Amino acid sequence: MDNTLQSIRYQRGSLQLLDQRKLPLETDYLNIRDATDGWSAVRDMVVRGAPAIAIAAALSVAVEVFNFDAFAGTAADAASFLENRLDYLVSSRPTAVNLSDAAIKLKQIISKAAAVAPDANSVFQAYIKAAEIMLEDDVASNKAIGSHGASFLQHQLKNSNKLSVLTHCNTGSLATAGYGTALGVIRALHAEGVLERAYCTETRPFNQGSRLTAFELVHEKIPATLIADSAAAALMKDCRVSAVIVGADRVAANGDTANKIGTYSLALCAKHHDIPFYVAAPLTSIDLSILSGQEIVIEERSPKELLHSRGGLGEQVAASGISVWNPAFDVTPANLIAGIITEKGVITKLVSNTFDVKDFVQKAENKVCPCGK
C-alpha cells in the first residue's frame, strides 16, 4: 500500500473526511453519519475538489441508509428517499458538475433497482454498491489521467530535457479519491524522472495551494516551489515554466473551463509567454449540456474568507467596512487552452483551433479510442 494522502476514509457503514480547512497544521478526520453531515462538509469545504465532492456526497448517503435501524416503506419509497437526498446534496456546491453528474447516474441506478427490487433494503444495497464503485473508479481514472498527461507533455515538449510545471489550487489526492488530476500528471512526470520542478501558487482566496498542494508535494517528496499568485507572470518571463496544468470543476461543450479563481489570469500569462496551458479533468467534469462558459454558475464565497486570516476562520485582518467580491471560480476560454487531459486521452484542437469535446466524449463512452484506433 502506498503512502498517498487520503481525503476520504471509507468502509461500509463508516465515512470519515479529512478536514482540509485545518491542513497543514492539523490532520483531523470528521465522522460523516448522513447526508446532512455530507452537505455541511461539502459546503464548508471540509472536503473540496470536484471529484472528491461527488464521491463524499454519494458515500454520505450510503452510510446513512446502511445504518438505518429500519425503514418503513416500499422499494419505491426507498428510491424516493435516495433521490431526495441526492437533490439536497447537489445544492451544496453549484459550480462543480461532478456532483450533479454523479447524482444523475445514481438516480438511474436507483430507478432500475426499484423496478425489480422486492423491498426497500434491496434498493439501498444497490445504491451502496454503486457509490462504492464510484470511489474505486476515481482512483483508476486519476492514474490514467496522470499517465496520458505525462506521455503527452513529453511528446509535445520533446526539446526539453526536464520539465518544470506550474499548477494552481489543489488537484491531488486531497481533491479526489486518490492520486489526483493535474497534480496526478505532475506525480507521473516525477515518477518517470522527467520533472525538474513543480511550482504551485498559493491560490487565493482560500490558500488551497499553499495549504494543500504544497503539503502534498512535500509529502510525495516532489521537488517543488511555492509562489504567490501575483508572481506567476514574473516566473514565466524568467523562462522557468515549461507548461501550466490546472484542474477543472466544469468543462463546457466548447472547451471553456471553470476552475479556481486565478486560473484565467494564469492562462492569459501563459498565452503571452508562449507557454502551453493544459486542463486535466475526468470526463465527469465535462458538461455537454452547456455550450460555453457563459452558462456556468460561478459560486461566490463568504467575505470572511478575505477579511479574516486562515481563510475566514481566524481574526480580522482587513479594514472594517471594506466591501468584498469573492468568486470561488473563473472561466478560462477554450482559445487559451492547448489541450484537455482526460482518463481516455487528450482532447486536442481541430484545424479550426477549436475543440470537438462532444465527439471525443461520445467516442470515449462508446469505448472507441478517440485517436481512431
Told to judge if 138 belongs to the known catalytic residues of this protein, a careful annotator would answer: no
> What residue type is 10 in one-letter code?
Y
According to the model, what pLDDT value does residue 86 have?
A: 97
Cell of 191: 515518477
State how far the alpha carbon of 331 is from the alpha carbons of 259, 283, 328, in Å: 7, 18, 11
CA distances from 203 to 51, 89, 207, 306 (A): 19, 26, 5, 12
Residue 154 has pLDDT above 50, yes or no: yes
Query: Regarding the domain delimited by 8-138, which CATH topology (the fold level of the hierarchy) does it fall under?
Result: Four Helix Bundle (Hemerythrin (Met), subunit A) (1.20.120)
Grid cell 431526495 in the structure block, residue: 84
Summarised one tens digit per residue, pLDDT across range 312-321 is: 778 999 999 9
Query: What confidence tens digit (pLDDT) does each residue in 109-147 have?
Result: 999 999 999 999 999 999 999 999 999 898 899 999 999
Confidence of residue 33 (pLDDT cuts 50, 70, 90): very high
Mean pLDDT confidence for 303-317: 87
Summarised one tens digit per residue, pLDDT across range 271-280 is 999 999 999 9
Classify domain 142-365 at the CATH topology level: Rossmann fold (3.40.50)
Pair 108, 158: CB distance under 8 Å: no
Which residue is listed with cell 461527488? 54
- pLDDT tier at 197, thresholds 50, 70, 90: very high
Average confidence (pLDDT) over 341-347? 97
Looking at residue 23, its pLDDT comes to: 87
pLDDT of residue 296: 94
Q: How is the chain split into domains, by residue range? A: 8-138, 142-365
Rounded to a whole number of angstroms, the CA Rg of the chain reads 21
**Catalytic hit among 249, 256, 330, 356:** 249
